[in-house]
């Protein structure tokens, strides 16, 4: 929500109006952290109502200012408006993502329309925009640095939201914004319910043959937490493929798990998201058309590094052309391997692929997840891996704060210091899955860094790893290890931020740049010095044996065509929906056929490699901020590969290299031209995509 990061207000006035509401009081905790020991569910709705009221008053004061509009009384004043609303929203929506109880869900349904209405009021406030326009026309050419960038971003934001539209079109845009907000709310609730309900119940432990003792214990724990309809439960995660399919011997159970995943929301059961998808796609298309673009993708991409759908498709098509033959070869190799034990007529199915690929990897490389997981204890990965790499590269140090109140017992909080020992940030981790948490992994903030507000960053990471039963260590797969490094890369974008204005700080960059720091930070997970420091056996503390380590690291690039293919397919599904004109949006019952034809058109209709997310549960696109933007994961992977090469050339853990990277890119947020930042650090005038397939082992 744009309103969360842009609307701010003074804290002193809110203390006077509601002194008993901790969300409306200045926190006494370090960094101004939210005091979850005092915040109750009953505080949220009145806090929102008061914060919205104050924000309206802030905007009114700007508009009614009789002085000639200038940078200070209009642009800076707008930057300062709504600070309490920002704080309340950051806390509330952190919980609705990570720990959404029924009470919070009810409040969200009441709050979202109010926030959208306020956003519409501000976006289409003609008097406010007139003041902003006057400042832009008079001062843009004479301002410099962050002041100039702040003015540019605010002016263009209003224009992109429709400030220059006719009155009739403005009214239609308001209605579209309200309806999309409502649909996204419905989508989020329905998807979470559907994913929780898609659990596969298992009556007999023998059906779980192939799973480790730890995985079986987790299935038992998951069953107990979901009502014990059977002794064991296999929980469905957010992606199409499911991790347990790599080790589950029972083919029929593998089929059931896979089908529970792909059919969770497609209309074959009681959860059907297609009506929401189609209406939202139609409204987005209309929004693009109102703004003068042929479709939503053209409108959305104008403000990115890629700039146009044509540029994105040129990038994707070059990858598809190189990928297709490799994918077919990989599939044939897996099927041939399976036929050695299953017979010459065996037909490989999507739910078989991970299973036989894992067995093939075991035979060829003699390595499996069960062998390496004992060396990936979540606490060691965090302290001895993620934090260690940040210390070596950026000079950061970490201290756990057990005195900081948390919103859930599974969380931890850490204070971060720079290489000179100065306070840098407060950082929270929330790594374990639960029914009240949505799927996936993400980074966000309770407060962004801002010199103007004298605010140090308060950042958090959320993941969805399985928490082991009490007394047992929580062990991770390699994918979960890299996810922790990935999300901490996003966190570093906020932690190392050194910007004057909140609006420009940290991750406030184009969608196809924001994933670069996270993709790049994954590279630290396999650097020998870092790997050896965290890959320690949970019982003995011994490092992973050299032979196993060598085999494990080689396995990272074993049969990686699937991972690239599922990403390419999901990306093309996203673009296909958002390249449509409003009159061409299919009916809900035609959605599956539309997706099929879209994949066929780009050469990615491969039953062996389905999209990472299909239309009906593609939360990035319908619930998140990645509409027409899922390509950014591959786009920014190119940037990350280029930057990783620079680090390797200069010394991957060389503090001078880390400092240079921080100074030229990470700390700067959106204060300058993003391509120029990339060039300043790498010396490259343009990203080089040739290294992407090589980095993936293809």
For 624, phi then psi, to 5°, come to -110, -155
Q: Domain for residue 180, yes or no?
A: no
- Final residue before a domain boundary, out of 142, 164, 186: 164
CB atoms within 10 A of CB 179: 14
Residue range 274-303: mean pLDDT, rounded: 97
Residues in the chain: 698
Q: Give the DSSP per-residue string, 486-547.
A: HHHHHHHHHHT---S-GGGSTT-S-HHHHTHHHHHHGGGGGSHHHHHHH-B-TTT-PBPPHH
Min mean pLDDT across 5-9, 114-118, 642-646 is at 5-9
696 has pLDDT over 90: no
pLDDT bracket for residue 11 (50, 70, 90): very low
Q: Within this chain, do residues 157 and 236 fall inside the same structural domain, yes or no? A: no
Tell me whether residue 316 is in a domain. Answer: no
Per DSSP, the three-state class of 665 is: coil
In a domain? residue 269: no
Looking at residue 14, its pLDDT comes to: 37
Among the three residues 486, 508, 525, which one is the final residue of a domain in this structure? 525
State mean pLDDT over 278-288. Answer: 98
Report whether 178 contacts 116 (CB < 8 A): yes
Contacts 24+ apart (CB under 8 A), 243-246: 243/354, 243/477, 243/479, 244/211, 244/215, 245/351, 245/353, 245/354, 245/355, 246/354, 246/355, 246/357, 246/358, 246/369
Which residues is 444 bridged to in the sheet? 460
Residue from 383, 575, 564 nearest 484 by CA: 383
DSSP code of 607? Answer: T
Q: What distance, in Å, lies between the first and last C-alpha atoms of the chain?
A: 38
Residue 15: band (very low, low, confident or very high) from pLDDT cuts 50, 70, 90: very low
Task: Tell me how far the alpha carbon of residue 652 is from its chain's centroid.
Answer: 26
Residue 267 has pLDDT above 90, yes or no: no
What pLDDT score does 270 carry? Answer: 84
Average pLDDT over residues 2-9: 34
- Mean pLDDT, to the nearest integer, of 392-406? 97
pLDDT averaged over every residue in the chain: 94
Identify the domain containing residue 32 by its residue range.
2-164
Nearest Cα residue to 369 out of 541, 525, 211, 207: 211
pLDDT at position 239 over 50: yes
Q: Which residues contact 204 (CB under 8 A, 6 or more apart)?
A: 231
Q: Which of 50, 487, 566, 637 is catalytic?
A: 487
Closest CA to 371 of 362, 384, 380, 381: 362
Q: Is residue 171 annotated as a catalytic residue, yes or no?
A: no
What CATH number is attached to the domain comprising 427? 3.40.390.10
Q: Specify the pairing of strand 397-400 against strand 423-432.
A: unpaired
**Per-residue pLDDT reduced to its tens digit, 127-137:** 999 999 999 99
CATH number at residue 107: 1.10.1370.40
| pLDDT on residue 4 | 35
Residue 65 sits in the same domain as residue 205: no
Q: Above pLDDT 70, what percent of the chain?
A: 97
* Domain match, 118 and 240 both: no
Residue 294 within any structural domain of the chain: no
> Do 141 and 16 belong to one domain?
yes
Q: Is residue 314 part of a domain?
A: no
Whether 436 maps to a domain, the answer reads yes
Domain count, the chain: 3
In a domain, 49, yes or no: yes
Task: Kindly indicate the confidence band of residue 17, based on its pLDDT and cuts at 50, 70 and 90.
Answer: very low
Global pTM value: 0.91
pLDDT of residue 371 exceeding 60, the answer is yes
Whether 84 and 209 share a structural domain: no
3-state helix, strand, coil in the chain (%, to 5): 60, 5, 30
Are 154 and 212 members of one domain?
no
3-class secondary-structure state, position 688? coil
159 and 232: one domain?
no
Of 368, 366, 357, the residue nearest 327 (C-alpha): 357
Segment 39-52 mean pLDDT: 97
Q: Calculate mean pLDDT across residues 339-348.
A: 97
Do 16 and 141 belong to one domain?
Answer: yes
Question: Is residue 564 over pLDDT 60?
Answer: yes
Whether residue 1 has pLDDT greater than 50:
no
Question: Is residue 29 domain-shared with residue 124, that is, in the same domain?
Answer: yes
**How far is residue 603's CA from residue 320's CA, in Å, rounded to a whole number?**
8
Output Rg (C-alpha) for the chain, integer angstroms.
25
Strands 442-447 and 458-465 come out as antiparallel
Co-location of 8 and 137 in the same domain: yes
**What would the mean pLDDT of 182-191 be, rounded to a whole number?**
94
**Where is average pLDDT lowest: 14-23, 268-277, 346-355, 515-524?**
14-23
In a domain, 669, yes or no: no
pLDDT (average), residues 98-104: 95
Q: Please indicate, yes or no, whether residues 136 and 88 belong to a single structural domain of this protein.
A: yes
Rounded distance between C-alpha atoms, residue 114 and residue 537, angstroms: 51
Residues 35 and 157 in one domain: yes
- Supply the pLDDT for residue 439: 87
Domain boundary among 495, 525, 555: 525
Q: Give mean pLDDT, residues 166-174.
A: 96
pLDDT number for residue 19? 57
Residue 292 CB-density burial (10 A; 0-12 exposed, 13-18 middle, 19+ buried): exposed
Nearest partner of 658 among 389, 444, 463, judged by Cα: 389
In this prediction, residue 16 has a pLDDT band, given cuts at 50, 70 and 90, of very low
């Amino acid at each position: 929500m744009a309103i969360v990061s842009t609307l701010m207000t003074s804290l002193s006035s809110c203390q006077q109006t509601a002194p008993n509401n901790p969300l409306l009081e200045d926190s006494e905790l370090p960094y101004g952290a939210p005091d979850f020991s005092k915040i109750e569910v009953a505080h949220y709705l009145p806090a929102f109502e008061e914060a919205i009221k104050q924000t309206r008053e802030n905007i009114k004061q700007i508009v009614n200012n009789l002085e000639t509009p200038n940078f200070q009384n209009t642009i800076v004043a707008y930057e300062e408006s709504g600070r309490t609303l920002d704080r309340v929203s950051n806390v509330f929506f952190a919980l609705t993502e990570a720990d959404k109880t029924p009470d919070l869900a009810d409040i969200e349904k009441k709050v979202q329309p109010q926030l959208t209405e306020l956003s519409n009021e501000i976006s289409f406030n003609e008097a406010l925009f007139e003041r902003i326009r006057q400042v832009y026309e008079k001062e843009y050419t004479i301002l410099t640095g962050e002041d100039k960038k702040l003015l540019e971003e605010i002016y263009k934001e209003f224009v992109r939201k429709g400030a220059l539209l006719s009155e009739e079109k403005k009214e239609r845009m308001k209605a579209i914004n309200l309806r999309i907000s409502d649909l996204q709310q419905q989508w989020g609730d329905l998807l979470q319910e559907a994913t929780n309900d898609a659990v596969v119940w298992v009556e007999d432990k023998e059906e779980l043959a192939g799973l480790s003792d730890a995985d079986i214990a987790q299935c038992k724990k998951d069953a107990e937490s979901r009502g014990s309809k059977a002794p064991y439960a296999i929980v469905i995660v957010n992606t199409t493929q499911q991790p347990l399919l790599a080790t589950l011997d029972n083919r029929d159970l593998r089929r059931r798990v896979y089908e529970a995943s792909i059919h969770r929301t497609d209309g074959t059961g009681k959860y059907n998201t297609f009506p929401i998808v189609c209406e939202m796609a139609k409204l987005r298309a209309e929004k693009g058309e109102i703004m003068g673009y042929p479709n939503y993708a053209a409108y959305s991409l104008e403000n990115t590094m890629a700039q146009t759908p044509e540029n994105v498709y040129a990038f994707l098509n070059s990858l598809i052309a190189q990928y297709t033959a490799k994918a077919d070869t990989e599939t044939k190799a897996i099927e041939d391997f399976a036929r050695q034990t299953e017979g010459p007529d065996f037909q490989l199915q999507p739910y078989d692929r991970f299973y036989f690929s894992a067995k093939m990897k075991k035979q060829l490389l003699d390595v499996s997840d069960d062998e390496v997981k004992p060396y990936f204890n979540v606490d060691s990965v965090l302290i001895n891996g993620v934090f260690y790499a940040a210390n070596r590269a950026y000079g950061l140090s970490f201290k756990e704060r057990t005195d900081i109140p948390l919103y859930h017992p599974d969380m931890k909080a850490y204070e971060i210091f720079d290489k000179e020992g100065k306070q840098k940030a407060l950082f929270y981790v929330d790594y374990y899955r639960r029914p009240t948490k949505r799927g996936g992994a993400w980074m966000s903030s309770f407060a962004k860094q801002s010199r103007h507000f004298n605010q140090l960053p308060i950042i958090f990471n959320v993941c969805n790893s399985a928490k082991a039963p009490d007394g047992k260590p929580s062990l991770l797969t390699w994918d979960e290890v890299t996810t922790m490094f990935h999300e901490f890369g996003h966190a570093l974008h906020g932690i190392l931020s050194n910007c004057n204005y909140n609006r420009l700080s940290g991750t406030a960059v184009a969608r196809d740049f924001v994933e670069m720091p996270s993709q790049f930070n994954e590279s630290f997970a396999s650097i020998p010095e870092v790997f050896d420091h965290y890959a320690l056996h949970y019982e003995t503390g011994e490092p992973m044996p050299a032979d196993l380590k060598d085999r494990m690291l080689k396995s990272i690039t074993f049969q990686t065509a699937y991972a690239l293919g599922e990403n390419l397919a999901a990306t093309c599904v996203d673009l296909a929906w958002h390249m449509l004109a409003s009159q061409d949006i299919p009916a809900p019952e035609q959605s599956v056929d539309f997706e099929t034809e879209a994949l066929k058109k780009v050469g990615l209709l491969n039953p062996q490699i389905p999209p990472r997310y299909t239309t009906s549960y593609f939360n990035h696109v319908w619930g998140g901020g990645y509409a027409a933007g899922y390509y950014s994961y591959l786009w920014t992977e190119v940037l990350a590969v280029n930057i990783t090469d620079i680090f390797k050339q200069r010394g991957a853990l060389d503090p001078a290299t880390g400092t240079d990277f921080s100074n030229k890119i990470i700390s700067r947020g959106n204060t300058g031209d993003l391509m120029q930042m990339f060039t300043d650090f790498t010396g490259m005038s343009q990203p080089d995509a040739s290294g992407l397939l090589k980095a993936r082992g293809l």
